[in-house]
Amino acid sequence: MSPRISVWIANSVFVSFVVISLFYSFVHFENRYLKSETATLNEERNRSFAIVQELSRVKNQFPIAYQCHYSFGLSNGSLYEITERIPYSIYKRLRLGDTIEVYRKEIKIFGKQTAISRIRGNEEPLPLLENLEKYFQYGLIYLLVLVGVTLVFRVWGLLFRTYPLQQKPTAIDETVVNKVQD
């Protein structure tokens, strides 16, 4: 018996690797696009105003972190809400219902119209798609290891496969070959 992995298991590992690779590349390029858009967010033409909906402290976080939940209108007339992490210096100045100055930009992510924004003076990093990208990257590494193990077992199985030995033809076989040739 040869130590082989069945073909359907090996093929499913290869197909899974291809699918996760496609997802990872899609998320990676969307994240790069999002980073390039956030780099140009703090321009004067993106300046707008928003209304503070909620202020809160993030629990079980050290150092202490604060969040501001605010809303603003999009170009199509709909209301868009964003939650942003803010430092204490901005948190102590804000009150519910205040109008705040923000930088906002409307973009498309994964084919869906959305917006990114930042409160003026806030230096906290924006949440991007980095966690989703890392998730697919770890899945890609895991499947790459599985592909490597599968290839090793497939090659090992082919190397140790036993083939029937070549036997010398017997007298009966020689007469059959001679009759076929005549």
Boundaries of every domain in the chain:
32-127
> CATH number of the domain at 32-127, out of 3.30.70, 3.30.310, 2.40.50, 2.40.30?
2.40.50
CB contact at 8 A, 62 and 20: no
**Which stretches of the chain drop beneath a pLDDT of 50?**
1-3, 162-164
Q: How far is CA 105 from CA 94, 119, 173, in A?
A: 22, 12, 84
pLDDT score recorded for residue 51:
92
3-state secondary structure of 91: helix
pLDDT at 69: 92
pTM, rounded to two decimals: 0.65
pLDDT at 2: 44
Q: Residue 116's pLDDT is what?
A: 87
**pLDDT value at residue 169:** 57
Q: What distance in Å separates the CA atoms of residue 122 and residue 110, rounded to the nearest whole number?
A: 26
Instruction: Please tell me the predicted confidence (pLDDT) of residue 3.
Output: 44
Q: In sequence order, what are the beta bridge partners of 94?
A: none
Query: Encoding tokens for residue 19?
Result: 């699918």
Q: What is the model's pLDDT at position 77?
A: 82
How many angstroms separate the CA atoms of 63 and 127, rounded? 18
